[in-house]
Chains A and B, each alone.
Chain A
Amino acid sequence: MNGEEPRPPADAAVTRRHVLASAIGVLSGLIALVLGLPSVVTLVGRRAPKSKAGRFMKVAALAALPDGQPVNLKYSEMVEKAYIRAPEMRDIWALKTADSKVTVYSPICPHLGCRYGWNAEAREFMCPCHGSVWTADGKVVAGPAPRPLDTLPTKIIDGDLYVEWELFEVGTRAKIVM
């Protein structure tokens, strides 16, 4: 370790330096692992727990909905995300048929998550992002959408429409609840 000792043969010195250098390498690698791995794991985080099912929210009076014409309805719901509990605005598409049955669509395009709109003239739903088109009853007419519009669970109680908000995987052929 100190210079008092006689100069060693070159190969021995190289061996010793290699051992010390390897020691530095091994220990530094361990340190990097101990710091790096948790950092990455922390960044990946954790999948949020599935939202509690059965939270039906009142959206509108059934009588107020026009027949055969999809309408965009907005309502507020108290939502708990991570450490924040706050009201969140939702919007849904509701279509009442002549027999007073109601179908409610999630407003999210099943292709890549854009918000689609209703073209009253063409009587079609159209997504502005990639041009997917659906009929009023949600069937795919054109575009890259992999599946029909996603319907949401509904209830009619005392003449009022209640909707349960759900999120679905996008880009998949099957409708998978997130």
Chain B
Amino acid sequence: MAKRLGAWLTDRWPFVPVWKAVMVEDIPGGSSYFYSLGSAVLFVFIIQAVTGVFQVFYYVPTVDHAYDSINYLRTQIPLGWLIHGLHYWGAQAMVVLAAIHLSQVFIWGAHKKPREFTWLLGVSNLLLILAMSFTGAALPWDVKGFWATEVGTSIAGTVPLIGDFIKRLLRGAEDMGQLALDRMFATHILVVPLLLAGSVLIHLVAFRRKHAAGPWSERKRRTTTGVFWPDQLLKDVILSCVVLVVLLVLCAWSPAPTTGPADASDLSVQPKPEWNFLFLYQFIKAFKGPFEPVGTVLFPLAAVVFLFLVPFLTRTQERDPLRRPLGMGLFLAAWAAIVALTVSGALSHPGQGPSAASSKVAPAGGPAPKAGGQAGASEGSSLFQSMGCGDCHKVNGRGGAVGPDLSNEGSAGRGESWLAEQIKSPKSHNPRSIMPAFGSRLTAAEIQSLAAYLSELKGSRAGTTAEEKPAVKAPGSAGQVKPAAPKAAEEAAPSPGAPAKGSSQAMSQGVALFKSAGCIGCHKVNGPGGNVGPDLSEEGGKRTVEWLAQQIKDPKSHNSQSIMPAFGSKLEPAQIEALAGYLFSLKQAPEAGPAAKPSAPEEAKKEASEAEGAEVPPQPNVPQAEKTPGADALPETGPAAMMIGDAGHGAILFQQTCVRCHGPEGTDKVPNPGSDDGTVPPLNPIDPDLKSADPAVFASNIDLFIQHGSVPDGPKPALRMLPFGDSNTLTQQAISNLEAYVLSLNHVDRTRIMHPGIPPKIFVLATVFCFVVAGWILWLLVPIKRKTSPPPRP
């Protein structure tokens, strides 16, 4: 029956010729695992195709669901973690194996005539694999993929003349959004895979047409011959098994990282490309200003062209690597450069490059910056003042004490690039830094000027004053605070949030003090201001005037961990009262009353007691809509509750946003006078009622508080939880990261696989066991037969 079916089929389709074309092939010099590398790439390509197709059954290519859909597959669908993990690690393996395969071909000299065309297709395949890697990274729409795509497409935009056109072609729009994701999706699942499949097929046909090159030794090629079927194919399959097992082990023991949902507005993110583009990322850093396209476009393009031309650059047929010193030298140098750049790219934090080495050495003992020594230094000096740097940093005896004294910063050997990076993104040097990132508020040139100015600060800390050295004019600081002069009051109205005109003298004084005492250096009021401390635009709606006055006088009395300087000794009581009165007048909506009419401290006190006495909202402040009597309506969690955030990034956000009230790592019992508990509820350990072993439930429980805020029970709680979600103070992505962090503090992993089907490690161990047993049995059989029966010549 089987024979008849076989005959029927072979009569209708050329199975035998096709089988022969694919399988019957001499291997000069005998089969080798080195020759299996190409097959290993093909095998991983098949894994990618299979897992890719099955991911598409769940993946949704929209900016609002892409991230959640892929996490749903990973955490909620049995064995979904495996499909996703294999695809993630397969992508990495494909790049590695393709690069090794290409290197092997080069070392063996197998790219030379008559196999140039096979080489050309191989290089095309490598480029297409990199294109898959690039377009695939965008699809989860997570932090890493988003920024990789943002920067990658922007790099394409730096191509002279046609850059904008290419960028538009890649993104489908001006910015990174739905259209860009659509493009990446279509390119990743249709365009590039089809091109790659075609290119691989032509590559294989070309390979068969000119046959395997075999070893470089002429003698070995002549004296020994193996066959593709079954000798080489068995080696190919064995290597494929090894690759599969390695991928499985990676899936179980090192799952694909969760970098959190993409959030373009999150300034604390440090975008870095995937490891396989790190060498380019690091390389690009060497080219600045107008030369940037040299690094981003010209050099990579030249390298690709060079790679294509490799087989045509020499006419010699010599294949022995030891007799090709130039070619092998260049090859090794290229690999050394790629490895070195990748490693340094992995280790570097943006801008931290050759800082000390490149820093300009100023004449020793020069106490003040050289006038005009740096083009931007004087501009930097004025920026130092206007940006409020001096509110936190001392220079030559003047300035705040929040940050380190910078009087001698130029002698610290850090260099301008380090300083520029510190200004741009202080967390890149120290994740716990409380300094605000100025990367979004200053242009690159301004940052450079500031860095230039700081690198020239080599004055002695004692005995020099700003007055003596005009170039280091110290900015307004706490030490300079005086009762605000009328002129200052006019200048100081910091924002639209300032009370209406015609406010009392105390109010004007408060407004002026807010700027002159340096508050604005750390706090925002309706726009302008720093972000070291909380935004005070609506502060009046949250605190009493007494609480505010106390906070200005001695912040540690409310929170022992507060980093805010105490102004009790720097301001007079009347000034503190004026400042507190001003802050109390900052309320949100005009209809709320107090915000519309500026309230003097005495009036404010009255309003505060009235307002706070009246409200006893539930905890959390869940909106009342949709609640049905006698029924449990779904709690109104925000979108963040459904997102799987990144706990690592949440820790950074926690430090910026939550630590003041909840203490470091949520452990502190920060005093909250006026509340029944007397302290802010700790988050670590959290209230057991909120905790759940199911990360989604746990996240939902705390999401209610973060979204809507809450007011603690008690007569007059001084602190209340702000509605971070409702007020858009935090994005939903940021909230999801914070939730993941709070979960991690309570030993619950937000990324936990809820429905693994088979637990990852057990699945992998069972699979490895099957492979080992099968391999062992085959091993016992094959060598015995080998001794008695060597293969026939085909």
Contact A55/B632 with A27-B241, A35-B50, A43-B57 known, Cβ cut-off 8 Å: yes
Q: Are B73 and A20 in contact (CB under 8 A)?
A: no
Q: Are B786 and A1 in contact (CB under 8 A)?
A: yes
Contact A16/B224 with A1-B791, A3-B793, A42-B77 known, Cβ cut-off 8 Å: no
- A80 contacts which chain B residues (CB < 8 A)? 634, 642
Quick one: which of B737-794 are within 8 Å of A by CB? 755, 757, 767, 770-771, 774-775, 778, 781-782, 785-786, 788-793
Q: Is A78's CB within 8 Å of the partner chain B? A: yes
Distance A125 CA – B216 CA, assembled complex (angstroms): 84
Contact of B642 among A7, A13, A85 (CB under 8 A): A85
Q: Are A157 and B629 in contact (CB under 8 A)?
A: yes
- Smallest beta-carbon distance A82→chain B, Å: 6
Contact of A42 among B78, B237, B631, B790 (CB under 8 A): B78
Contact A2/B30 with A8-B792, A20-B782, A34-B248 known, Cβ cut-off 8 Å: yes
Q: What mask results when residues 1 to 17 of chain A are scored 1 for a CB within 8 Å of chain B, else 0?
A: 11111111110110111
- A41 contacts which chain B residues (CB < 8 A)? 78-79, 757
Contact A42/B76 with A3-B225, A24-B234 known, Cβ cut-off 8 Å: no
Contact A1/B30 with A12-B788, A42-B54 known, Cβ cut-off 8 Å: yes
Q: Are B237 and A45 in contact (CB under 8 A)?
A: no
Q: Is B72's CB within 8 Å of the partner chain A? A: yes
Contact A42/B80 with A4-B223, A15-B785 known, Cβ cut-off 8 Å: yes
Contact A52/B632 with A16-B789, A26-B774 known, Cβ cut-off 8 Å: yes
Q: Are A8 and B31 in contact (CB under 8 A)?
A: no
Q: Is A121's CB within 8 Å of the partner chain B? A: no
Q: Are A2 and B82 in contact (CB under 8 A)?
A: no
> Could you say which of A10, A27, A164 has the most chain B C-beta atoms within 10 Å of its C-beta?
A27
Q: Are B79 and A27 in contact (CB under 8 A)?
A: no
Contact A54/B632 with A21-B230, A27-B241, A43-B57 known, Cβ cut-off 8 Å: yes
Q: Is B47's CB within 8 Å of the partner chain A? A: yes
Distance A17 CA – B69 CA, assembled complex (angstroms): 48
Contact A8/B630 with A1-B231, A41-B79 known, Cβ cut-off 8 Å: no
> Could you say which of A13, A42, A44 has the most chain B C-beta atoms within 10 Å of its C-beta?
A42
How many residues on A have C-beta within 8 angstroms of the other chain's C-beta atoms?
54
- Smallest beta-carbon distance A66→chain B, Å: 24
- A21 contacts which chain B residues (CB < 8 A)? 230
Contact A45/B78 with A17-B791, A55-B631 known, Cβ cut-off 8 Å: yes
- Smallest beta-carbon distance B552→chain A, Å: 42
Distance A3 CA – B628 CA, assembled complex (angstroms): 84
- Smallest beta-carbon distance B371→chain A, Å: 61
Q: Is A158's CB within 8 Å of the partner chain B? A: yes
- A23 contacts which chain B residues (CB < 8 A)? 230, 234, 237, 778, 781-782
- Smallest beta-carbon distance B694→chain A, Å: 11
Quick one: which of B633-651 are within 8 Å of A by CB? 633-634, 637, 639, 642
- Smallest beta-carbon distance B93→chain A, Å: 14
Contact A31/B240 with A24-B230, A42-B80 known, Cβ cut-off 8 Å: yes
- Smallest beta-carbon distance A79→chain B, Å: 8
- Smallest beta-carbon distance B82→chain A, Å: 5
Distance A15 CA – B626 CA, assembled complex (angstroms): 76
Q: Are B786 and A27 in contact (CB under 8 A)?
A: no
Q: Are A56 and B631 in contact (CB under 8 A)?
A: yes
Contact A54/B631 with A1-B790, A3-B793, A42-B73 known, Cβ cut-off 8 Å: yes
Considering the complex, give the chain B residue whose CB is closest to the CB of A17. Answer: B230
Contact of A3 among B69, B77, B224, B234 (CB under 8 A): B224
Contact A31/B244 with A20-B230, A23-B234 known, Cβ cut-off 8 Å: yes
Q: Is A101's CB within 8 Å of the partner chain B? A: no
Q: Is B71's CB within 8 Å of the partner chain A? A: yes
- Smallest beta-carbon distance A102→chain B, Å: 16
Q: What mask results when residues 195 to 236 of chain B are scored 1 for a CB within 8 Å of chain A, else 0?
A: 000000000000000000000000000011110001101100
- B224 contacts which chain A residues (CB < 8 A)? 2-4
Q: Is B310's CB within 8 Å of the partner chain A? A: no
Distance A45 CA – B77 CA, assembled complex (angstroms): 5
Distance A82 CA – B46 CA, assembled complex (angstroms): 29
Q: Is B285's CB within 8 Å of the partner chain A? A: no
Q: Are A55 and B785 in contact (CB under 8 A)?
A: no
- A38 contacts which chain B residues (CB < 8 A)? 79, 82-83, 757
Q: What mask results when residues 582 to 621 of chain B are scored 1 for a CB within 8 Å of chain A, else 0?
A: 0000000000000000000000000000000000000000
- A15 contacts which chain B residues (CB < 8 A)? 785, 789
- Smallest beta-carbon distance A75→chain B, Å: 11
Considering the complex, give the chain A residue whose CB is closest to the CB of B68. Answer: A83
Contact of A30 among B241, B631, B788 (CB under 8 A): B241
Q: What mask results when residues 380 to 391 of chain B are scored 1 for a CB within 8 Å of chain A, else 0?
A: 000000000000
Q: Is B65's CB within 8 Å of the partner chain A? A: yes
- Smallest beta-carbon distance B611→chain A, Å: 32
- Smallest beta-carbon distance A154→chain B, Å: 12
- A7 contacts which chain B residues (CB < 8 A)? 792-793
> Could you say which of B68, B86, B791 has the most chain A C-beta atoms within 10 Å of its C-beta?
B791
- B225 contacts which chain A residues (CB < 8 A)? 2-3
- A85 contacts which chain B residues (CB < 8 A)? 637, 639, 642
Q: Are B792 and A83 in contact (CB under 8 A)?
A: no
Distance A28 CA – B46 CA, assembled complex (angstroms): 13
Contact A20/B231 with A35-B47, A83-B68 known, Cβ cut-off 8 Å: yes
Q: Is B686's CB within 8 Å of the partner chain A? A: no
- Smallest beta-carbon distance A42→chain B, Å: 5
Q: Are B771 and A58 in contact (CB under 8 A)?
A: no
- Smallest beta-carbon distance A73→chain B, Å: 15
> Could you say which of B230, B637, B639, B771 has the most chain A C-beta atoms within 10 Å of its C-beta?
B230
- A157 contacts which chain B residues (CB < 8 A)? 628-630
Contact A42/B793 with A1-B30, A55-B634, A157-B630 known, Cβ cut-off 8 Å: no
Contact A42/B83 with A27-B241, A34-B248 known, Cβ cut-off 8 Å: yes
Q: What mask results when residues 36 to 80 of chain A are scored 1 for a CB within 8 Å of chain B, else 0?
A: 011101111110000010111110000000000000000000101
Distance A30 CA – B238 CA, assembled complex (angstroms): 11
- A20 contacts which chain B residues (CB < 8 A)? 230-231, 234, 782
Considering the complex, give the chain B residue whose CB is closest to the CB of A48. Answer: B76
- B231 contacts which chain A residues (CB < 8 A)? 1, 20
Considering the complex, give the chain B residue whose CB is closest to the CB of A33. Answer: B770
- Smallest beta-carbon distance B26→chain A, Å: 9
Q: What mask results when residues 77 to 110 of chain A are scored 1 for a CB within 8 Å of chain B, else 0?
A: 0101011110000000000000000000000000
- Smallest beta-carbon distance B77→chain A, Å: 5
- A27 contacts which chain B residues (CB < 8 A)? 237-238, 240-241, 771, 774-775, 778
- A78 contacts which chain B residues (CB < 8 A)? 626, 634
- B775 contacts which chain A residues (CB < 8 A)? 27
> Could you say which of A4, A39, A54 has the most chain B C-beta atoms within 10 Å of its C-beta?
A39
- A116 contacts which chain B residues (CB < 8 A)? none
15 sample A-B contacts, Cβ–Cβ < 8 Å, listed by A number? A3-B224, A3-B791, A5-B790, A7-B792, A16-B791, A19-B781, A20-B234, A23-B781, A27-B238, A27-B775, A30-B771, A31-B241, A45-B77, A55-B632, A162-B628
Instruction: In the A-B complex, list the 8 residue pairs whose CB atoms are closest, starting with the nearest.
Output: A12-B789, A83-B68, A20-B230, A38-B79, A5-B790, A16-B789, A56-B631, A3-B225
- Given contact pairs A12-B789, A19-B778, A38-B83, enumerate 17 new A-B contacts (beta carbons under 8 Å): A10-B792, A12-B788, A13-B790, A16-B786, A23-B237, A27-B238, A27-B240, A27-B771, A41-B757, A42-B80, A46-B77, A56-B628, A57-B631, A82-B76, A83-B71, A85-B642, A162-B628
Residues of A within 8 A of B (CB): 1-10, 12-13, 15-17, 19-24, 26-28, 30-31, 34-35, 37-39, 41-46, 52, 54-58, 78, 80, 82-85, 155, 157-158, 162, 164
Residues of B within 8 A of A (CB): 30-31, 47, 50-51, 54, 57-58, 65, 68-69, 71-73, 76-80, 82-83, 86, 223-226, 230-231, 233-234, 237-238, 240-241, 244, 248, 626, 628-634, 637, 639, 642, 755, 757, 767, 770-771, 774-775, 778, 781-782, 785-786, 788-793
